[in-house]
Each structure stands twice: as structure tokens, then as C-alpha cells.
Homo-oligomer: A and B are copies of this chain.
């Protein structure tokens, strides 16, 4: 694999050299032989001057195919189009799959967008305009409009004929969707099924009428779940009259799964890992708002401890265990949070599931609290020869863990119910919040037993 990689890097360097030396024919010959993913890699590594030449050497259709495979963020990709003449840019966008073109155009300046749409074929620009209206992260926003559509009283032979004709344009030719007179979706037939069916059979006799579809405004995460569960290569998208308006292919769904898992992961760490710049100043400025916010939340913990400063000065031994208690409760709360967020995403958010998750987490917290509390009771008791101190630390740790588990499970669920993304309730947030409650619990319990601890 690594040898493979080296070879392909040498090849790519050679192709860039052809471009550099203005050898148009040699460049085209070699560049067009590459997989579009590799073409896209080259494109994104060129200098602006080299790209200008690339735009001259490739037809809009060829460059459109390359841009379909570019994986940079759309706000970065639109900049390439700004480098082209408006005519060429519109032609390239017009050759791309509609969903990809729409992603990019969503970040175009208003003026440029109008210009590009005006320069495109009417049909294409109408499709794009329509799709620009769909809300981000819904089926409509990620669907492609290039699909194969047939009718139920065609023969298999004529269905195959349609497939062949559309094979060049459609994003997915292995499923043909069957519609009625009103363009309502009524079935699906796979190319595999067509292959093994008699040529003269009617589509309606070989199609699967139990076709699964998603509505245009369905959340992309739910679409991903359906494709994953059913192992589909694509799923049709319908509007509110059940009319077929697009398809979502499995490769787009892989991107969705990546995006959503990166979001969950980012949430847990309190940092956007998908968009973490390599420039330290920029990276720091992205992470600081969250850290400073938590610092202020942390200051309430400091204020609280400050309130008990008299207590600490009377029994400075209490300070020794602050970090053990806050740390352990924070760790338990983070575990609880991770499980709750994941269960929300995979098991749905009906009230029964929510309640069961909270109850499970609290009982888990009680068990964990008991075991951890007992452990620290024994350790502190033996270490400091003071089992009353051990009892105070153990009891405080147990209560702090139960509260942390409760917070770790309730907060993401409450956020979900209030319409926020539960993953925003990050690990750092839960552990900082749990610091506060842990300290409160700890000092209150300690106050009660103060005279026993100090032995005065």
C-alpha cells in the first residue's frame, strides 16, 4: 500500500510537470487516465497559475467530473470558481452532479450566483434553484437529481434500454425507480433483477413494490440509518405528494456518517475536530471561547471553595482530596454522557427510552459510587489513620458521582428535547459542572463532620 502510494505520488508529480511545461496533450492523456479522486488531489495541490492552465486544458465536462470528487469544504471550493471566467465556471458547475453544484453554490456571492445560474441551461438552473431552498442536513440538501425513472407497464427490455441511455448521466444506474402517471413512486427494480428476468416480462411483475423512500425534509442522520440498516446502494427521495424528486447514494451517506460521528466526537471533547486549523493562532482562537466560558463556570467552583476557606484553614487536609473527588465524579459523568448521547442517537428520543436511560444511569451511578466510595474510604482511612475522614471523603465521592451521572444523562436529553444538538453538552462542560456540584457536596458533608476530622 505504501509502495502503491509512492508510485502514485511519482505519477502525479510527472503530470504536474507536463502542466508546468505546457505539454497539453501529454497532460490530458495522463490526467484523464486517473481516477477522479486522484485528479481532485492534484487539482487542490496546484498553484493558482497552474490551475489557470488546467482550466484551459480541460473541457467543462472533464473538470466537472474532477470537481465532483473534490473533498474540500464548499466554502473553499467556491474560490476556485472565482478564478475562472463566469462562462467557464457556469459550464463546469452545470456538468457537476446537481447536489455537489448546489453545495458549492450555497457559498457563492449573491451576484455571482445569479450570474452563474443565468449562464446555465434553463433546466439545470431551475433544478439548482429548487435545491438551494432545502434546509441544510436534510434529505433534500444531499440528494442527487440524476436518477433512472421507468414506468410499470414497460417491458424489461425497454427498461434496460432506458437504463443504457441514462447510464452516462445518472449518478446511480443500478436501481431504476418505477413511477405512475403522476410521477408518484410505486416501486423499484434493481439492475440485477432486470438481468435475470425475461426480456418480455413487464416491469410491474418484476419490480419490488415495497419500496422504501425518505421524505425530502427528513434529517440526514435518519436517512443514513435507513441506508445502513437495509444495505441499500441508494434510496429514493419523495416530496409531500409522494412524487419522486431525487435519490441519495451510499457514498453521500458515508460522508454523512463521517460528519455526524465527527460531530459527536467533537462534542465530547469540546473542540471542532473536523475544522481544526494547523495554524496554532487560529486553532487557539477556535478553542479559547469554550475554554474561557468553562473557566468562568470553574470560577463559581473557586468562589464556592473561597466561601469555605475558613473550613479549609481549620482542616487543611480537606484540600488534599478536592481533586480526587472532582476528578472521579467528572470521569464518571463523562462516561455517563457518552453513553446517553450515543443511546439518543441510536435508540431514538421517545420519552420511554429517555426515562429508562436516566434511571439506568442513576442506578449505575449508585453502584459505581458505592464501590468507589468504599475504596477511597479504606485508602484514606488507612493512609491518614482517620476513618472518619475516610467516611467523609467516601460519602462525598459517592454523592458526587451520582449527581454527575444524573447530569451526564439528563443534560443531553434536555438539550435534545429543547431542540439543541445533544452533543453540544460536551465532556468538558459536564466535568466542569460536576466540579461545582462535587465541591458543594464535599464541603457540606465535611462541615457536618468537622469536629471529628480535626479531632478538636
Contact = CB atoms under 8 A, between A and B. Distances in A.
Nearest to A209: B33
Interface in A418-456: 427-428, 431-432, 435, 439
Interface stretch (A12-20, A106-114, A257-265): A257-265
Contacts of A292: 371-372, 375
B317 A316 contact: no
A59 interface: no
Interface string A318-330: 1111111011101
Interface in A325-347: 326-328, 330-332, 334-335, 337-339, 342-343
B250 A233 contact: yes
B37 A229 contact: yes
Nearest to A429: B331
A441 B195 CA distance: 72
B312 A327 contact: no
Contacts of A262: 342
Contacts of A251: 228, 231, 250
Contact of A295 (B287, B291, B376): B376
Contacts of A317: 306, 309
Given A33-B210, A319-B312, A364-B284, A269 B337 contact: yes
Nearest to A283: B364
Interface string A71-107: 1000000000000000000000000000000000000
Interface stretch (A42-50, A128-136, A177-185, A274-282): A274-282
Given A273-B342, A301-B324, A288 B360 contact: no
A157 interface: no
A323 B305 contact: yes
Contacts of A146: none
A82 B191 CA distance: 37
Interface string A342-359: 110000000000001000
A320 B306 contact: yes
B164 A196 contact: yes
Contacts of A37: 229-231
Nearest to A384: B306
A253 B283 CA distance: 32
Contact of A313 (B298, B313, B431): B313
Interface of A: 1, 33-35, 37, 69, 71, 160, 163-164, 167-168, 173-174, 191-192, 195-196, 210, 212, 214-215, 218, 222, 227-231, 233, 250-251, 253-255, 257-258, 261-262, 264-266, 268-271, 273, 276, 278, 280-281, 283-284, 287-288, 290-292, 294-295, 298-299, 301-302, 305-306, 309, 312-313, 316-324, 326-328, 330-332, 334-335, 337-339, 342-343, 356, 360, 363-364, 366-368, 371-372, 375-376, 379, 427-428, 431-432, 435, 439
5 contacts: A33-B210, A273-B342, A276-B342, A284-B367, A334-B427
